[in-house]
Amino acid sequence: MSPPSRPGRHAMPRGDKSAYTDKQKRQAEHIEDSEREQGRSEEDAERIAWATVNKMSGGGKRSGSGRKKTARKSARKTASKSASKSAAKTPRKAAKKATRKVAKKATKKATKKVARKATKKVARKAVKKAAKKAVRKTARKTAKAPARKAVKKTVRKTAKKATRKTAKKTAKKTARKTPAKATRKTARKTAKKAAGKSAAKTARKRASTRPHRGNGATAHHSAAAH
């Protein structure tokens, strides 16, 4: 009598082994021989051999054997296990997806807020810089304009003063020079006139003092005097 099989393992086949294939039978014989060589009894070696074959192949593989029932049972078990696992995983997956979505939305909102704040800050800085530059430019222009006007006024004043001074100087010089020239000219004219008058007088005197040599001579002297 063989001992009862353990739960969870395939029972050792008893009696007819027609459900097993030749390959399974050879495997069982080979395992049995190896177990006999290790010093086990014939019953133990046979039991271990067929138990290992059933464990490896899941029972007889020939058509019409009871292997289909075990396969169906194992398939059902695997299906139920996968269903339970999937059922356990689905809420976790849903929770993970929900958390991911929430995290993505939060990150997007945060990035948008940060971007808006950064753009606002940059715009404010740019506006401030532009305003400062405009104020500086206007201040420079306003400071330069009166300076330019003052410079122009001073230049004009100095030019006018210089022209007036030069005009006065030239007028004085010309005023000084003209009477001297006029006096010189008048003196020359008067000297010429005086010299001519004196020469005429002397000629008259000479003519009057000479003796008369006839009418012709007197006429000649009178013509020369005139």
Examine the pLDDT at 178 and tell me if it is beyond 80. no
| Single pTM value for the model | 0.26
Residue type at 30 in one-letter notation = H
What share of the chain in percent tops pLDDT 70?
74
Examine the pLDDT at 47 and tell me if it is beyond 90. yes
The pLDDT of 37-47, averaged and rounded, is 94
Examine the pLDDT at 22 and tell me if it is beyond 70. yes
Report the C-alpha dihedral over residues 77, 72, 70, 68, rounded to 10 degrees: -170
Give 132's pLDDT tier (boundaries 50, 70, 90): confident
Q: How far apart are CA 56 and CA 30, in angstroms?
A: 14
pLDDT of residue 51: 93
Q: Residue 207: exposed, middle, or buried by beta-carbon count in 10 A (0-12, 13-18, 19+)?
A: middle
Q: What is the gyration radius of the CA atoms in the chain, in angstroms? A: 76
Most confident of 6-15, 20-29, 79-88, 175-184: 20-29
Look up tokens 């008369």; give the residue: 212
Q: Which residues have CB under 8 Å from 24's CB, separation 6+? A: 53, 57, 60, 61
